[in-house]
Amino acid sequence: MGNKSLSIKWKTFLVFFVFAIVLLGVLWLFQIIYLKDFYKLIKRSETEVVLDRVEHLVRTSDDCSSEIDKLAASNTMGIFVTDNEGHPLYIAEYIASSQISNMPHFMFELFYDIAVANGGEAPIYYKGGQMQKYGEKNSFFVLKNNEEEENLFISGMSPKNIEEYPEVKAQEEANNQSRGKIQYTLPDEDEDAFKQNIGNDLAESVIYVRIIEIDGQERVLMLNSVLTPVDATVGTLKVQLKLITIIIVAIAFLLGYLFSKNISHSIISINEGAKRLAKGDYSVKFTSDDYREVAELSDTLNHTAQELGKADGFQKELLANVSHDLRTPLTMIKGYSEVMRDIPGENTPENIQVIIEETERLSGLVNDMLDISKIKTGNITIYPEEYNITESICHVLERYNKLREVDGYIIDFVYDDEVEVYADEQKMYQVIYNLVNNAINYTGDDKKVTVVQKVSDDSVRIEVIDTGKGVSQEDIPYVWDRYYKAKTVHKRAIQGTGLGLAIVKNILELHGAKYGVSSVSGHGATFWFELRRERADDE
């Protein structure tokens, strides 16, 4: 089946590459496209702060020229403080294009009137300086409203545009007469050239005008700040970003390739090992440890391989044992049946009893295997009730009377008083039977098995003790496994399937009972469990 998605190698590579592209896009967006907007925003904020500082100095100090000069120098601004007639008090200009100290008087009056109309403070935006040279002639600037931004702008105007503003024209004529100048009009071609070469490419600036009153006298504060960065700066940034783009793309390509290859190598290695594990090779080792998550996955898969290997070994051993246990009774049934059929007089009660016993053993093996299957699939249900467990144990031990009589087994039951428990009587009967049968299989040469009943306030503890070689400490964690079979040699009992302890474990867990085994090598083993005497309140 084809793989419809990209491999982790190429996905990782694409993540690195897309990240680099996004990073470069953000750099170009903020450093080039919106550089002027950010610069304007910052400069406006700085200008307002400096304006507040200038106001504070003017109000609190009689001579603050040095402090104003420092403020203008450190912030690259032009600062002009006058009275309400435009007579300068403090001047500090650190902008090459700033001419606020040399502005025409009519321009000062316009700024003053705008501030008064605006409540005593107004920002006035414009392009270029208050006066620009065009050839041998002056280009004046007058106020013009910008409908989009709703701010007052100063735009480059030729002298003939002054005709549209009578108050400006009258003031300028007076100025020209006082300076001995005459009004002139630029030719149309000169005006077009002015708009193209000067009016459209000039740097945008702002003059903040604020009128304050000190001791009954008005003071006019004017701060001039350039709002657009120098074109040379933008050009330099473009060149730098082009180089940065090439470098970052190359680095992203290299890192993406190396990193994706490194990650995919570990995953590929684990995948190859997992394929071997799926084919039944439990000797495979997962050694990828370059990343914590991958190392944890490797450890988990190594543990899984070990457990699967053990389970596979136990299963093969179980199949061998079950096959042997099935073959033996079947062989005996077949042999005795043929003897009874072919030899006259062999149809005796003894031979029939052998067939019956072997049939019962075969039936017990099949039943145990079915019980294990039901328990593991969750198809078994318990029906707890209060019953006399002491009497139930006695009934179990009665089944071994023949072993006592024929083979000399000693099976003792030690208890003080009869006691009732809250459990499923049929299932607990099977638990006790399997534990006793297991003890008979592994008991010592004295053929002794002891069942002990211990009663406490709220529970009953049942112990089944044998005198065999015991269970080694390393085997105790696996003794309840359905595939487990001890390596110690034991005598084959009248009935036994090798699945008894696994059935015991699952039935006890369904009851929520405590259980365990204690053993010292060479001194037998004690299997135990505890049951409640009464029904729990939450049931």
Diameter of the chain by CA atoms? 161
- Residues 392 and 270: their CA atoms lie apart, in Å, by 54
What lies within 8 Å, CB to CB, of 248 at 6+ separation is 20, 23, 24
Instruction: Enumerate the domain spans of the chain.
Output: 92-229, 280-379, 381-532
Spatial strand order of the sheet with 410-414 comes to 410-414, 448-455, 459-466, 525-532, 514-519
CATH of domain 381-532: 3.30.565.10
pTM over 0.75: no
CA 461 to chain centre: 48
**pLDDT, position 513:** 92
Spatial strand order of the sheet with 121-127 comes to 88-93, 78-83, 217-226, 204-214, 121-127, 151-156, 137-146, 131-134
pLDDT one digit per residue (tens) for the chain, 539 residues: 445 566 666 777 777 778 888 888 888 877 777 777 777 778 788 888 999 999 999 998 888 889 999 998 988 888 999 998 888 999 998 876 666 777 788 888 888 988 899 889 988 877 654 333 222 333 334 333 333 333 333 433 334 444 444 554 554 555 444 433 333 333 444 444 444 444 445 567 788 899 999 888 999 999 988 776 656 566 777 787 788 888 888 887 787 777 777 777 777 788 888 888 888 887 888 877 667 777 788 888 888 888 888 777 767 766 776 676 677 678 878 888 888 888 888 888 888 887 887 787 788 777 777 776 776 666 678 889 999 999 999 998 988 887 777 788 899 999 999 999 999 998 899 899 889 988 988 888 889 999 999 998 889 999 999 998 888 888 887 788 755 555 544 444 444 455 778 888 888 988 899 999 998 878 889 999 999 887 765 55
And the tokens for 416? 């003080």
Class for the domain spanning 280-379: mainly alpha
**pLDDT, position 99:** 65
